[in-house]
Structure 1
């Protein structure tokens, strides 16, 4: 008869893609994970992975076994929660987020999580979206709040709204009340974050579509630092409008008018499909309630105006 440990080894190899990642997730050696996987294949009398690479390519038998594992682990989790209902266990939820989320509504998210789930400790990690996405898919993070980007089929997503970006410049750099096309903006240096930033990728596509190649300056990985360089007249930058409303009111920064509106980036909560997905959905709902990003209804109309952080 197969043991829980053997089934866990198979399940996490299937979800994370390699024996090494599964071993790290289960805190066992790779040889132990290999042995347990071999025992699973011997017990079910057939291969559960196709090919020799053991890279998340399940056979038909493997897919059936994966579904049975999810059902079994759901039941075990329910029994464990029932057993400990009088004394809920403290667990750490590793949450990845970008700087825009951290500087707007994430503090409110932490307060709501503490009120709704006092037994969960949220451990935040701030980084670029592409790096955080990799960590989520590898199992190093439990949950992320990221700009919408291509994710693997193993990831579930729940929208939390959209962020409006605009082209910021120092006062006097461009004529006010005049619409400036992108080729005019390209006459000034463009201050960017690293290529791992989604907004950097979005703006790169905009420049390519216009057939222009502005001077591009790496301004660091801090949005506030980029805004400081813009205010000093070093160049222009595409920044989230919500973060710099006070600077726009004071006149230290101006929002350049363009024929087409600045890019809008959708954000989503992301978590892996696994037996604890129910927790991911609950946390995503807390994030939706906390989010100050604009949400739209099924007709595309603005459904929820952003609140100021």
Structure 2
């Protein structure tokens, strides 16, 4: 008799093309995965995988079985979502988060997760959106709060929040009390997000179209470092004001009055569209509720 656990092992082995990676994903051992697959093949009396040196691939019958395995696992997820209490959900949620979210409402989300799903542990990593996108596709993350949406069919995207971007500087910079032009801004180093992110690309394109002398453009993956450099008067940063609300209130930083505008940064909760996305889907919906409650949408 084929059980759901064996189908789950089969699904992840087929999806990740590896006994080892399937074992890591399911928190078990590679021999245990091999035994499950061997038992399935014995049950059906045929080979489900072609073994290679460092990977496996499905046979024709294996591809047929994958369709049924996905149906069973998706139905189990739907059943648990509809019937089970949130208190009964257990496991580890591997969550990737943009640092902008860390500086705004992430702690409220962690608190809400703890109250709603006390049996779930959140394994948190902070990274830039391009890296998290790849981690979602390779199944190294279950859920990510990143700049989005990501237009890939294998990923589900839920809109979280959006932030306007401002030009922010220390009062010690000589920029005057009135409106600041782009020419005034680029007299100082410009500090912003890393090069392979949308905010950096949009800023770079704006400056390239300006016909002004090329500015000193400093990119940094650490928002904390960007804020510190700006407070120290090294340059003008281009980030959401919400990230530095305390520094603005204390007078360490100020939002510069300017008509030089950049697009808002939109964030999404993204997770793989897999039949057993049990923890990721409700956690993403909870994040939407938390982000919506901040008044940022």
If the length of structure 2 is used for normalisation, what is the TM-score?
0.76
Provide closer, same or farther for how the CA distance between residues 263 and 175 of structure 1 changes in structure 2, counting only shifts above 3 A. Answer: farther
Tell me if 1:274 matches 2:274.
Answer: yes
1:300 counterpart residue number = none
Report SS of the residue matched to 2:164: strand
Provide closer, same or farther for how the CA distance between residues 89 and 265 of structure 1 changes in structure 2, counting only shifts above 3 A. Answer: closer
Which whole-Å deviations, capped at 9, do the CAs of 1:32-61 have from their partners, x for residues lacking one? 76x949x87xx6989999xxx989999999
1:225 counterpart residue number = 225
Provide closer, same or farther for how the CA distance between residues 60 and 244 of structure 1 changes in structure 2, counting only shifts above 3 A. Answer: farther
2:148 counterpart residue number = 148
Tell me if 1:177 matches 2:178.
Answer: yes
Q: Give the superposition deviation at 1:242.
A: 0.9
Q: Give the superposition deviation at 1:234.
A: 1.0
1:136 counterpart residue number = 136
Q: Give the superposition deviation at 1:247.
A: 2.5
Q: For structure 1, which segment, 166-175 or 95-104, has the greater mean C-alpha deviation from structure 2 after superposition?
A: 166-175
2:109 counterpart residue number = 109
2:97–2:125 CA contact under 8 A, matched in 1: yes
Q: For structure 1, which segment, 152-161 or 74-83, has the greater mean C-alpha deviation from structure 2 after superposition?
A: 74-83
1:162–1:293 CA contact under 8 A, matched in 2: no
If the length of structure 1 is used for normalisation, what is the TM-score?
0.74
1:90–1:119 CA contact under 8 A, matched in 2: yes
Provide closer, same or farther for how the CA distance between residues 285 and 188 of structure 1 changes in structure 2, counting only shifts above 3 A. Answer: same
Question: Would you say how many aligned residue pairs link Structure 1 and Structure 2?
Answer: 292
Q: Give the superposition deviation at 1:272.
A: 1.0
Report SS of the residue matched to 2:88: coil
CA distance in 1: counterparts of 2:59 and 2:146, whole angstroms: 28
2:288 counterpart residue number = 288
1:99 counterpart residue number = 99
Q: Give the superposition deviation at 1:206.
A: 2.8
1:215 counterpart residue number = 216
1:5–1:36 CA contact under 8 A, matched in 2: no
**RMSD over aligned Cα atoms:** 4.2
